Amino acid sequence: MRGAMIDLNAVETKLSERTIQSVFRTKYLFFTGKGGVGKTSIASATALTLATRGKRVLLISTDPASNLDETLGVTLANHPTPIPQVPGLMALNIDPNAAAEAYRQRVVTPMVGKATDVEISGLREQLSGACTVEIAAFDEFAALLSDAGIAADFDTIIFDTAPTGHTIRLLSLPKAWTDFFDINERGASCLGPHSALKNQESRFAAAFDALKDPQRTTVVLVARPELSTLNEAARTSSDLRQLQLTNQILVINGVFLATDKNDRLAASLEEKSAVALGKIPQGIQALPRYIVALKPFNTVGLTSLRKLLEDAPPTELPMGPAASSTGVRATLSLAAMAKELANDGHGLVLVMGKGGVGKTTVAAALAVAIGKLGKPVHLTTTDPAAHLAQTIVGSLPNLTVSRIDPKEETLLYSAKILASKGKNLDEGGLALLREDLASPCTEEVAVFHAFAKTVFEARRGIVILDTAPTGHTLLLLDAAGSYHREMLKKMEESAPGKLTTPLMMLQDSTQSKVLLVTLAETTPVSEAAALQDDLRRAAIEPYGWVVNRSLAASSTADPVLMQRAANEHEQLQRITNGLATRLAILPLMPDEPVGIERLEQLLTRESTVY
């Protein structure tokens, strides 16, 4: 298996300019995978290569936190935008908020003149939640899949999707909603009257038909040569097969070969790649498999994207130390942050950021540090693809680990609603209530209630919440805002001082702290900056930033890693020049920070000046 890994130029295993047209033959391509594996880069490079070879290509982002604009260097909208200097290539972002507003207008407009102002206002409030944003974005997605005009205009349509948990949810919606329509012919859900949704039923069915047709759709599972991302690819593959999406291939991005075999970090990275490729999970072993080598440059801009799949090896590596001091100074260590956060003995810490930046590692390291200080701490996650158990690997006094499981929370929430609202209903009313609870919206509501419970638990102890990747987390915070507005409305005639909502807890810096985690790379930093802006608009001020897996903070001498380290300097200075008030910088470690002992080593290895 190691020999297969090092043969990067083998035509049959390398995703490159020569092989790409034979690999991707269907009209629709879905790129998915764990956050940070390079889905957007691989999808964009694929689109660029196919267009350069004469194909008419449409590249679409379905990620609520899309970075496609930055990757392509073009400002995109929710309609196809030509990419300059690339004839045949167009791209668009599905804007969830714009889609949600358009959806609200379609539902509300027919009610004007037939309902009172109060009823219409109530309906708009009902349609303000995260579930509406999600289904509206899916409606746009389904339209693109079922639009005969779009299909005729392009040879290939590529979807760059959100990280896997959110993508599975998105791809489940066609079947979930068509099943829901089959059993529910009346009433209203959290998305408004069912009649409004029934109008979209044929579109949803057409979208589902396209997804499960192996002659039309290929699912591209993108992973890194790391066991965690390969295991998630295997889980995703299984979930998608259950949804009848069976035409799948595996792309392993960032395969690394050390140039300097004496460099401990470089040798460790190569060895980890070899071990991971030797332990590909059984569920995806039989899939067609292609690799992309780790490049010494960031894949932002058309020039870099063209080089990503080039057949020739990269050149122009740096000749001297690339990670020399840049004058960037971390304001405090992660261990010092842990001491600050533990001072009051209670409070909520939300660890947020783009998928793949190491939020789970940072959250786990903080929890271990606080537990070692003798403070009880509860570490939990809202990430549908939770990896806390694999990161902690062991037990520690004062440390409790859990997760918010969407399926489990949905069952608990549905049982609670049936027990309370259903106890006095007749058979007909009970049947209607069960139909409503069968709606895909129920999962969003259930997860939010579990999230709210976790927020309030932090009034009595320290809770560290490892959140889902940014787009999914923003939907959860949007749900907190919707709940906040609903509760304020209900309390208008009561004493508002007695009301505390999850949003109010998040806005109170004495109760909650938000920690933004990023890599020292262009796209993760830009996404963290945009997330910070979103939080500030919601009156939530971030507590600090953590730059994780920094090569500039390591002592590598490998030429490829040194050039990547040099590329970090601009982003480190960008963070310190106005983005972060508190900053910790963690080095990339030769040993994966898995297990309590290695998490402690991560806390002690960090330095302060770069």
Mean pLDDT over the full length of the chain:
80
Looking at the structure, do residues 346 and 300 belong to the same domain, yes or no?
A: no
470-490 and 522-537 helices, crossing angle to 10°: 0
Domain membership of residue 410 (yes or no) is yes
The pLDDT score that the predictor gives to residue 60 is: 92
**454 part of the active site:** no
Phi, psi torsion values for 597, nearest 5 degrees? -65, -45
More confident residue, 544 or 106: 544
Confidence of residue 148 (pLDDT cuts 50, 70, 90): confident
pLDDT in tens, 181-191: 555 554 444 44
pLDDT in tens, 326-362: 555 667 788 889 999 998 888 889 898 887 888 889 9
The pLDDT score that the predictor gives to residue 320 is: 39
The pLDDT score that the predictor gives to residue 321 is: 41
In this model, does residue 130 exceed pLDDT 90?
A: no
Confidence of residue 234 (pLDDT cuts 50, 70, 90): very high
Catalytic-role residue among 229, 273, 523, 554: 523
The pLDDT score that the predictor gives to residue 501 is: 67
Looking at the structure, do residues 304 and 343 belong to the same domain, yes or no?
A: no
Looking at the structure, do residues 207 and 94 belong to the same domain, yes or no?
A: yes
More confident residue, 386 or 153: 153
Domain membership of residue 151 (yes or no) is yes
The pLDDT score that the predictor gives to residue 451 is: 78
Catalytic-role residue among 13, 63, 347, 371: 63
Looking at the structure, do residues 73 and 16 belong to the same domain, yes or no?
A: yes
Catalytic-role residue among 13, 16, 19, 41: 41
Looking at the structure, do residues 504 and 566 belong to the same domain, yes or no?
A: yes
Looking at the structure, do residues 239 and 338 belong to the same domain, yes or no?
A: no
The pLDDT score that the predictor gives to residue 319 is: 40
**38 part of the active site:** yes
What's the CATH code of the domain at 467?
Answer: 3.40.50.300
User: Domain tally for the chain?
Assistant: 2
In this model, does residue 218 exceed pLDDT 90?
A: yes
Catalytic-role residue among 35, 36, 129, 471: 36
The pLDDT score that the predictor gives to residue 2 is: 43
Looking at the structure, do residues 469 and 523 belong to the same domain, yes or no?
A: yes
The pLDDT score that the predictor gives to residue 558 is: 92
**39 part of the active site:** yes
Domain membership of residue 279 (yes or no) is yes
Looking at the structure, do residues 376 and 270 belong to the same domain, yes or no?
A: no
Which of 68-77, 187-196, 253-262, 467-476 has the least mean pLDDT? 187-196
How many Å apart are CA 139 and CA 570, to the nearest integer? 39
In this model, does residue 200 exceed pLDDT 90?
A: no
Confidence of residue 430 (pLDDT cuts 50, 70, 90): confident
Domain membership of residue 326 (yes or no) is no
Q: Kindly state the helix (H) or strand (E) to which residue 65 belongs, with its residue range.
A: none
* Domain edge (last residue) among 291, 308, 325: 308
Range of the domain at 509: 334-605
Looking at the structure, do residues 241 and 386 belong to the same domain, yes or no?
A: no
Mean pLDDT of 27-45: 90
Catalytic-role residue among 39, 272, 372, 513: 39
Confidence of residue 6 (pLDDT cuts 50, 70, 90): very low
Which of 209-213, 242-246, 434-438, 573-577 has the least mean pLDDT? 434-438
Residue 13: which of 272, 311, 227 has the closest Cα? 311
Per-residue b/e over 115-133, b at no fewer than 16 CB within 10 Å? eeeeebeebeebbbbbbbb
Catalytic-role residue among 13, 14, 33, 38: 38
Confidence of residue 454 (pLDDT cuts 50, 70, 90): confident
Looking at the structure, do residues 295 and 363 belong to the same domain, yes or no?
A: no
The pLDDT score that the predictor gives to residue 610 is: 47
**439 part of the active site:** no
Phi, psi torsion values for 587, nearest 5 degrees? -75, 155
The pLDDT score that the predictor gives to residue 579 is: 93
